[in-house]
Structure 1
């Protein structure tokens, strides 16, 4: 891979990053607050690629030879001092004067793969399969000091907030309030559907599922990764996650409805 090819790959990579950053595609990989940094990184890659192409494609500068100066071909041995017998060394060539060409490592072509992934085959956000392969994120004891729920009936809370209050606060901060949660359907340890939502600290690589068991009016006949909105109340029932043996809280479902996939799929 020569310098021009490197610049083209760099230009494509920067363009793919900027394209993903100005749309909602980047939300499949990182948190929303990282958008400015992604845009800045993509623009920096584009600038670096353009500058490299300009440097490589600019016309070669001509060197003026003063009158009376020794002619290179006649007065200087071929190849210059210390290089007699090997022919003249041409500035800017990719040869070292011994017939050997200099090439960058071919592994650089692998940079084209993330470009194709972002432009052509963008993978979906983590869903039910990832939730089934990882243990619930609520596996460590936390301080059970939660503020009261906001006003409203039902009050809209995140799956993580409800699960934390139900598991570590024993539902004390929920009381008899009705709550409304949004998540996707996944298969539970007993084959019954559960409500799940992926949470991440930085990017999709550290995504972990938060799982909720469902009791009461349990949704039936829905495929995995179907997004639903559940309205219900606190349940003191607990289950066990077979992946990491952590406790899974439940919610008493009063009603539910199918909803479109939200713009922000991670919590």
Structure 2
């Protein structure tokens, strides 16, 4: 835990806001581990002074062997989640999802709007705040048959609850996105047609893409 917190790779497993809790847990676990090691070393010297049997080193060796998985995790870090390994996002699965007012979009020609927020505005907005606005949305390409979607992995707490948020891409620049390999990070500009709904993976909304720019993956891909 201490290693992934220090290197920043913890964002592959939990949200960045959980770093203080992760760091605190690491301190507690390391403290308990050091206390156990010191206790075993002291007990080993005591047992050696009072007993000549040779089975004690084997017991202590088994205890130290448990440290091996932790050492391996320092040098072998599991990769980030794959889009193919998680369930589609179901942000608004219920037909009676309560509607609420979203704040107006930021000013500007094409303000950046997170992909999950676009879906939430479509699914639960009491007014069509996306109507008539050109926006910029960043995500990675996701192939669905002959179609290429703009996707982003969403986690609420940790990797265990990860879901895949997606937008179908159409419009004049959609063909250029389709030519890119899967998992290519892009920022697209475009408009979201009015009158759409979002009730889960069976009704993925559309964005009319007018511009595409390849971009580097963000530090946190969720």
Superposition TM-score, scaled by structure 2 size? 0.80
Other structure's SS at 1:235 match: coil
How many residues align? The count is 212
Other structure's SS at 2:193 match: strand
Indicate whether 1:135 and 2:124 are aligned.
no
- What is the aligned partner in structure 2 of residue 165 from structure 1? 121
> In the TM superposition, what is the alpha-carbon distance from 1:155 to its structure 2 partner?
1.1
- What is the aligned partner in structure 2 of residue 234 from structure 1? 192
- What is the aligned partner in structure 1 of residue 12 from structure 2? 28
Other structure's SS at 1:181 match: strand
Residue among 2, 16, 34 paired with 1:50:
34
- What is the aligned partner in structure 1 of residue 157 from structure 2? 202
> In the TM superposition, what is the alpha-carbon distance from 1:248 to its structure 2 partner?
0.5
Other structure's SS at 1:232 match: strand
Other structure's SS at 1:264 match: coil
Which runs of 5 or more structure 2 residues have no equivalent in the other structure?
none
More helix by share: 2
Q: Structure 1's 153 and 45: CA in aligned 2 closer, same or farther, altered over 3 A?
A: same
Residue among 133, 140, 157 paired with 1:184:
140
Distance 1:253 1:160 in 2: 17
Instruction: Please give the root-mean-square deviation of Cα atoms over the aligned residues, in Å.
Output: 3.4
Which runs of 5 or more structure 1 residues have no equivalent in the other structure?
1-16, 64-88, 96-100
Distance 1:210 1:90 in 2: 64
- What is the aligned partner in structure 2 of residue 258 from structure 1? 214
Given that 2:90 and 2:201 are in contact with CA atoms closer than 8 Å, whether structure 1 keeps it comes out as: no
Indicate whether 1:225 and 2:183 are aligned.
yes
